[in-house]
Amino acid sequence: MSAISVLKTKNVEPRTQQHHGKSECQPISLLAFLEEENCRLRNTVAQLEQYTMALREALQHKANPRP
């Protein structure tokens, strides 16, 4: 059995959604959870790379001020 087929069949904690004032629990697959988390982490890394570039540029300007 491949790892992917195992991931598709396992469930993690159900998510609760409000639907017309009623609470509905829907299980999500572990694979869907991991894909969502991967996307979130990729966005965080991209944002951190932008911050790093801005900080390096600021440090470079501070180290070499224009006369």
Q: Classify residue 5: in a domain, yes or no.
A: no
Say if residues 8 and 31 touch (Cβ distance below 8 Å). Answer: yes
Select the more confidently predicted residue: 48 or 67: 48
For position 44, what pLDDT does the model report?
98
Closest listed residue to residue 30, CA positions, set 4, 65, 51, 48 = 4
Mean pLDDT of the chain: 77
The residue segments making up the domain with residue 49 are 11-63
Flag whether 44 is in a domain: yes
Position 17 scores a pLDDT of: 52
Confidence band (pLDDT; 50, 70, 90) for 27?
confident
Examine the pLDDT at 9 and tell me if it is beyond 90. Answer: no
pTM: 0.54
Number of domains in the chain: 1
